[in-house]
Chains A and B, each alone.
Chain A
């Protein structure tokens, strides 16, 4: 309840006419606080029988997904609906993309409907920036190749704060295939913005230098408040690249098993999981796991992001929640 009062003048969004959420690097700490506060206020609205808010009535939000997705596409669609926006999800399979249409032409075609927001997932780095340049819509990056997945990082912060009561000073061990992970890139940057720290743990060739401290020793997760497990992204690895000799060897050295999780540690995973590879099913289903909470956070955080891009500031949050 007191959260709404946290939203003060210093948390006003920048005055640009058309804002996007392309990368965590576009955000300040104050932006993150504003978005998380907004999400928290939406959490309350989601406890009512009537979960729908009228805030974005008449707005059009297009979800354009060039890569498979369960959590992200469903939560963006639902987030738009809960805010009363018109929404439509376009998947690459079964659209003109199948017929060789370029991203530029698809973007221009969809622009003809004057969407307020385009939510884009695409396998290539820079796709969201490209659509932001090519159209007049606000663009939310729902994942571009190995680059960024900013709403995932925001929902992860929300999940951590709800479960652990704070973000500042938290220490998060991100374990596994960091090299191919847009989630890890966004999360490391987001943790830095809120005063938390990260260590990257995994096989040497999968830990890019310079993002955060690294360790190839799984024991390095011991100090962490949160163990954040990444999927081995075999679909993004070039054949014959030899990042690890085998998945069996990966699991033996870096798999998150009950024995490796310390009492009091919480475990997260952005999904989809490969149970038995990077995470043991007993860990995924344990009380330490926040994996289901992450999915729940996804809805309200994405509501907050859409709301934030389409309204002028935090004052309306109270009224929005109030009207419902």
Chain B
């Protein structure tokens, strides 16, 4: 399902704090990588003429997986390309990403998908999986040839950017998807409630005169899709959850045995709609930033495992699109290169979230949802590792980005915790 480069590096990483929550590993040791595979973990390892990386004071963790990235290719290569988006991901500590198919043209046929995978073979800096659309043209009426798309290597199916408007089509999609073994990921939005919405329907939008995008616009659809998943017995993945009510629906459904999962974004975990008072287009996203109560509910869900993945919903936009008044701006912000830093700074350092939980939700969690190999620190595992300096303080500047777009809500922010080295599929893909 993933396409991209692999490598056969020979490296010894010396003296890092190894943290792999799933393996139950938290120890300061050396790691030796032979031919791109973890060969030895221990103290004072032989270097065997390998390259040696001094990792004193560093954290070495399983590299991250982002299941929600808009690579804008094909169609808007001015905003992002496979090369620039995967380079940004590498700089963020990721060893794999999944790309969303709402491109131009939409990835709704095997030919487009094969073309993208061929390009990724040449261009991608890290392995990338391409999701395919659930309905033709993402218009919510006619299913794509999901079987053929799965055979051509679709990593999952989604109409993200839009909801599947009718319950009937969604039910058929879930039923039919039994033949593919891939995940269906859904963007939950009841558009008759969100039309004209630019910000969370609450006091801030009332005061600013912005059209409201209510929590119910998401949670109604979450409830519908969970019920459909329960009814069909097929799994569903809920993308970019933002509302407390959605989290409660998911928690109840999981308790009832429904096969479901959810993801949350760094911006929904760190910001509330108070940020919208700045009228900065870089805090405009879909679903919108919500209340403090919603933010805390998302954090609780990340903690207790109701939500098992953190996804950036990296959505590059050109300056022409974003350098406009708030109300005229499109939804979406970038996130690949700042996700670990901001979550470490705003949630781990203040003690809101443990480092282990953060690392798990950024790596093993999304891997499990989408059936990808779990990055791990274990002998015999391919080297998918990220080395982080937890003490490094850095300022987010336009020049720091590998992404082609600069629509980050963190421009100018000071962050602690910086990715220093990323190894993806046995190859060093980023080094600072």
- Asked if A316 is an interface residue, CB under 8 A from chain B, the answer is no
- Asked if B203 is an interface residue, CB under 8 A from chain A, the answer is yes
Residues in A with CB closer than 8 Å to B323 are 102, 104, 134
Residues in A with CB closer than 8 Å to B52 are none
- Quick one: CB contact mask for A164-185 with B, threshold 8 Å, 1 for yes? 0000000000000000111001
- Asked if B207 is an interface residue, CB under 8 A from chain A, the answer is yes
Which of B193-224 touch A at CB < 8 Å?
A: 195-196, 198, 202-203, 205-210
Residues in A with CB closer than 8 Å to B320 are 102
Other-chain residue from B209, B278, B325 in contact with A146 (beta carbon distance below 8 A):
B209
> B323 to chain A: closest CB distance in Å?
6
Contact A210 B203 (CB under 8 A): yes
Mostly, the A contact residues are loop
Other-chain residue from A102, A104, A209, A241 in contact with B206 (beta carbon distance below 8 A):
A209
- Asked if A127 is an interface residue, CB under 8 A from chain B, the answer is yes
Other-chain residue from B195, B203, B210, B324 in contact with A147 (beta carbon distance below 8 A):
B210
| Interface window among A89-97, A118-126, A253-261, A289-297 | A118-126
Contact A130 B324 (CB under 8 A): yes
- Asked if A211 is an interface residue, CB under 8 A from chain B, the answer is yes
Other-chain residue from A104, A125, A238 in contact with B208 (beta carbon distance below 8 A):
A125
Residues in B with CB closer than 8 Å to A122 are 325
- Quick one: CB contact mask for A125-146 with B, threshold 8 Å, 1 for yes? 1110110001000000000111
- Asked if B379 is an interface residue, CB under 8 A from chain A, the answer is no
Question: What residue in chain A is nearest B329 (Cβ atoms)?
Answer: A126
C-alpha gap A130/B281 in the complex (Å): 9
Contact A129 B324 (CB under 8 A): no
Return the 3 tightest CB-CB contacts between A and B, nearest first.
A146-B209, A126-B326, A208-B206
Contact B210 A210 (CB under 8 A): no
Contact A144 B325 (CB under 8 A): yes
- Residues of chain A touching chain B, judged by Cβ–Cβ distance below 8 Å, are 25, 102-104, 122, 124-127, 129-130, 134, 144-148, 180-182, 185, 208-211, 238, 241
Given contacts A102-B320, A129-B279, A238-B196, contact A124 B325 (CB under 8 A): yes
- Quick one: CB contact mask for B267-301 with A, threshold 8 Å, 1 for yes? 00000000000110100000000000000000000
Given contacts A129-B279, A238-B196, contact A147 B328 (CB under 8 A): no
Residues in B with CB closer than 8 Å to A208 are 205-206
- Selected A-B contacts with CB under 8 Å, 14 pairs: A125-B208, A125-B327, A127-B325, A129-B279, A129-B326, A130-B279, A134-B323, A145-B209, A145-B327, A147-B210, A208-B206, A210-B202, A211-B207, A238-B196
Q: How many residues of B contact A (CB 8 A)?
A: 21
Question: What residue in chain B is nearest A211 (Cβ atoms)?
Answer: B206
> B384 to chain A: closest CB distance in Å?
42
Question: What residue in chain B is nearest A180 (Cβ atoms)?
Answer: B209
C-alpha gap A146/B195 in the complex (Å): 16
> B72 to chain A: closest CB distance in Å?
21
Contact B325 A129 (CB under 8 A): yes
Question: What residue in chain B is nearest A209 (Cβ atoms)?
Answer: B206
Contact B279 A126 (CB under 8 A): yes
Question: What residue in chain A is nearest B203 (Cβ atoms)?
Answer: A210
Residues in B with CB closer than 8 Å to A126 are 279, 281, 325-328
Contact B324 A103 (CB under 8 A): yes
Residues in A with CB closer than 8 Å to B279 are 125-126, 129-130
C-alpha gap A208/B323 in the complex (Å): 29
> B382 to chain A: closest CB distance in Å?
47
C-alpha gap A250/B150 in the complex (Å): 55
C-alpha gap A25/B279 in the complex (Å): 13
C-alpha gap A181/B206 in the complex (Å): 11
Contact B209 A124 (CB under 8 A): no
Question: What residue in chain B is nearest A134 (Cβ atoms)?
Answer: B323
Contact B195 A238 (CB under 8 A): yes
Given contacts A125-B198, A129-B279, contact A104 B324 (CB under 8 A): yes
> B196 to chain A: closest CB distance in Å?
5
Other-chain residue from A130, A134, A147 in contact with B209 (beta carbon distance below 8 A):
A147
C-alpha gap A181/B208 in the complex (Å): 10
C-alpha gap A126/B208 in the complex (Å): 9
Contact B198 A210 (CB under 8 A): no
List 6 extra interface pairs beyond A124-B324, A124-B328, A125-B210, CB under 8 A. Answer: A129-B279, A145-B327, A147-B210, A185-B209, A211-B206, A211-B207
- Quick one: CB contact mask for B139-168 with A, threshold 8 Å, 1 for yes? 000000000000000000000000000000
Residues in B with CB closer than 8 Å to A127 are 325, 327
> A144 to chain B: closest CB distance in Å?
7
C-alpha gap A129/B198 in the complex (Å): 16
Question: What residue in chain A is nearest B198 (Cβ atoms)?
Answer: A125
Residues in A with CB closer than 8 Å to B209 are 125, 145-148, 180-182, 185
C-alpha gap A246/B57 in the complex (Å): 69
Residues in B with CB closer than 8 Å to A181 are 209
Residues in A with CB closer than 8 Å to B325 are 103, 122, 124-127, 129-130, 144
Contact B210 A102 (CB under 8 A): no
Given contacts A125-B279, A126-B279, A129-B279, contact A210 B207 (CB under 8 A): yes
- Quick one: CB contact mask for B316-348 with A, threshold 8 Å, 1 for yes? 000010011111100000000000000000000
Residues in A with CB closer than 8 Å to B328 are 103, 124, 126
Contact A102 B324 (CB under 8 A): yes
